[in-house]
Structure 1
Amino acid sequence: MKIHVERDVLADAVQWVARSLPNRPSVPILAGLKLEASGNQVVLSSFDYETSAKVVVAADVTEEGTALVSGKLLAEIARSLPAKPVSLSSDDSRLEITCGSARFTLQLLPVGEYPDLPEMPSATGTLEPELFAQAVAQVVVAAGRDELLPVFTGVRLEIEGDTVSLLATDRYRMALKELPWTPTGSVTDGAALVPARVLSESSKSMTAGERISLSLAAGDGGEGLIGFAGEGSNGVREITTRLLDGEFPKVRHLMSIQPNLTVRANTSEIVSAVKRVALVAERNTSLRMVIGEDHITLEAATGDQAQAVEALEATVVDETGQGLSMNAAGFNPHYLLDALNALDTPYVNFAFTAPGKPCLLTPLVELDGEPSADYKHVIMLMRLPQ
């Protein structure tokens, strides 16, 4: 193999593919990054039997061929190269990288032992990249991190006609986002449980093109596959990952809260106040929201060592007409900040039913307007000491 490629093009492609490499590969060969040169392009790819990543970039190919090298090491080298054209050439045992006066030689890994990448399923539909990236970011904050409970580390993707719904929960909070999409295949309805980490990486790294193509091949016993593809100035990028097995909990009904009390406030003001007050919040204790008739007060403390209190203007509405049904709510401050930071509107609407019951947060464009119906974030309230 012998190719010439622009330094920035190579560095960007290698960095992107290398992000999918496993930190602790089950077999050493899976730490490799594969380069395949043919025609006027080079394909860089990685695969760990669960997730594959592939990018196709333009290159001046003078000798076609394939090489497999340590992905992490190649990524470090590509990132450090000077701003000059790069030449890569390989023989039976080594890959040589030349950029200006810098030269690196890497030992090749046995390409014959490397697994074949899975085939991308047939395209199911397309999404607007920026809208998709924003939607995924709003939802993945509620996904679990505990690998011992894999079903909670996923995002449930539901397709219904021209709408895609994303739903995630870690049992203590949940987020739902609905967004439009354009079906292109015969599948107009379906569902898949996608690893949240892969979904997040896919959405953030494919914003350069006009559309993202989603390909879904649902199967039984956790053998389903989902793929994302996008084309932009940084080449054609594809990611596939196996779907998670297991039954996602039925939590949609918790999004249909009929509030007894609503509180509306400025999003940026409450974010800043929560950050300040939470500085003195003791670990595993709640941030207390005291609800008044025209304001809220945030309180937190670390025993007798430190206390913080801050009041904010708010629009408080008693939905029952019988007086305020509750005067305080206890939030996990980290969950509250995650939810508020996921909003993309100037105002936020809190919907309460009773102390200790779930609280629904929805975005508001105007303080006296209707809450947005396409994004909902539920937080399980913490019980306050009597």
Structure 2
Amino acid sequence: MKFRVERDVLAEAVTWTARTLPTRPPAPVLAGVRIEASADGTLGLSSFDYEVSARSEIPAEVTEPGVILVSGRLLAEISRALPAKPVDFSVEGTKVTVVCGASRFTLLTMPVEDYPALPSMPEISGTVHGDELTAAVAQVTVAASRDDTLPLLTGVRVEIEGERITMLATDRYRLALREMTWKPASPDISTVALVRARTLSDVAKSLGGSGEVNVALSTGTGVDLVGFEAGGRHTTSLLVDGDYPHVRRLFPDETPIHAVVPTQPLIDAAKRVALVAERNTPIRMSFSEGQVVLDAGQGDDAQASEALEAVLVGEDISVAFNPAFLLDGLNALGTDFVRLSFTHPNKPVEFTGQGSLDGEDSSHYRYLLVPIRFAS
């Protein structure tokens, strides 16, 4: 096997393909990246850990076709460190020689015959614009659980009905819902999938800038998979197994009290006040006519407070939030104003975005946050 490839193209492809490699692989070969050089001038790189697969194709000058398996992380580090010159690969026995300018590396190959077959990409279910996918995934995954002992809640529930996609995520303390449109392959498609939040975030960051992203779903066929494809890159992931809780009903039907606050000033104030909020202590928010007062700290500890202009509809109300969860929701909105809708001081508060102080709020993105009870 022998081929030449541009250094930047190689580094980008290897880094992307190796990004999901497990740090403690269940089998040594799963730490490798499979490289296949084809006579048609295509270099295929792939990785797989029995859950997530990644494949990318790049052009190369192939002199001798072949297949090898090498340490993915090591090759990624080497390829990024090489000088900006063409890179030559050649294989002799169980060793790969990598030459770039005056740099020369020799790597041991791994037994490619022991490498598992990658899952096939499911049939394309539809297409979504990469920028919108990136924004939507970022808004939803902030609410997904990071606790692997609750695998269901580390996933994002994706509901597809025709041209509409709804994504939901919760960690039991907050809930995020995002609606978006896409171009389905079949106008009457109706399906539900539970996709790992980590996989969605990775796909959105790595493929979101590629324009259109093809989405493929395979459910009820024995192996439930989701696949994404853009710019010559493909990735698949097993879906999370289990029944997601019925969280949509947690959003209140009616909210007798709501307040509207400029988003960025509220974010800035919350960050300042949170400086004195020790671990597991909340930020308190007291809403009254024309203002909201944020404060944290109590007793002999450090204290902070700050008042902001706000519009309040309904009676005065005070709530307290986990500072990190509050900031996650505010940062995810992406609008000039935030509407906080209340039913009771101890009931979850709904955050939605508004374009102006007296405008209507948008239901495309909704963030529900459970307040912390505090002694008044």
TM-score by structure 2 length? 0.97
Please say if residues 97 and 105 of structure 2, whose CA atoms lie closer than 8 Å, have aligned partners that are also in contact.
yes
Structure 2 gap segments, 5+ residues each: none
Please say if residues 41 and 59 of structure 2, whose CA atoms lie closer than 8 Å, have aligned partners that are also in contact.
yes
> What is aligned with 1:238?
234
Instruction: Say if 2:97 is the partner of 1:96.
Output: yes
Give 1:92 deviation, angstroms: 2.6
1:351 to 330, 333, 341: 341
> What is aligned with 1:333?
323
Give 1:305 deviation, angstroms: 2.1
Q: Please give the alpha-carbon distance, in whole angstroms, between the structure 1 residues aligned to 2:208 and 2:168.
A: 21
Q: Please give the alpha-carbon distance, in whole angstroms, between the structure 2 residues aligned to 1:80 and 1:255.
A: 50
Q: Please give the alpha-carbon distance, in whole angstroms, between the structure 2 residues aligned to 1:239 and 1:302.
A: 50
User: CA 1:187–1:202 in 2, change beyond 3 Å: closer, same or farther?
Assistant: farther
Q: Please give the alpha-carbon distance, in whole angstroms, between the structure 2 residues aligned to 1:291 and 1:186.
A: 46
Structure 1 gap segments, 5+ residues each: 319-323
1:287 to 254, 278, 283: 283
Q: Please give the alpha-carbon distance, in whole angstroms, between the structure 2 residues aligned to 1:293 and 1:186.
A: 48
Give 1:40 deviation, angstroms: 1.1
Letter in 2 for 1:345: T
1:366 to 356, 361, 365: 356
Instruction: Say if 2:165 is the partner of 1:175.
Output: no
Give 1:302 deviation, angstroms: 5.7
Instruction: Say if 2:201 is the partner of 1:200.
Output: yes
Letter in 1 for 2:9: V
Give the number of equivalent residue pairs.
Answer: 375
Alignment deviations for residues 67-106 of structure 1 (CA, whole Å, 9 cap, x no partner): 1001111111011111111111113301111111001110
- Provide the aligned C-alpha RMSD in A: 1.2
Q: Secondary structure at the match of 1:67?
A: strand
> What is aligned with 1:144?
145
Q: Please give the alpha-carbon distance, in whole angstroms, between the structure 1 residues aligned to 2:17 and 2:186.
A: 28
Give 1:255 deviation, angstroms: 2.4
Q: Please give the alpha-carbon distance, in whole angstroms, between the structure 2 residues aligned to 1:360 and 1:220.
A: 38
User: CA 1:187–1:113 in 2, change beyond 3 Å: closer, same or farther?
Assistant: farther
Q: Please give the alpha-carbon distance, in whole angstroms, between the structure 1 residues aligned to 2:49 and 2:327.
A: 34
Please say if residues 363 and 375 of structure 1, whose CA atoms lie closer than 8 Å, have aligned partners that are also in contact.
yes
> What is aligned with 1:226?
226
Give 1:373 deviation, angstroms: 1.4
> What is aligned with 2:106?
105
TM-score by structure 1 length? 0.95
Q: Please give the alpha-carbon distance, in whole angstroms, between the structure 2 residues aligned to 1:267 and 1:102.
A: 52
Q: Please give the alpha-carbon distance, in whole angstroms, between the structure 2 residues aligned to 1:218 and 1:80.
A: 42
Instruction: Say if 2:375 is the partner of 1:385.
Output: yes
Please say if residues 131 and 211 of structure 2, whose CA atoms lie closer than 8 Å, have aligned partners that are also in contact.
no
**After TM superposition, which residue ranges in structure 1, 4 or more long, deviate above 6 angstroms?**
none
Instruction: Say if 2:128 is the partner of 1:132.
Output: no
User: CA 1:186–1:292 in 2, change beyond 3 Å: closer, same or farther?
Assistant: closer
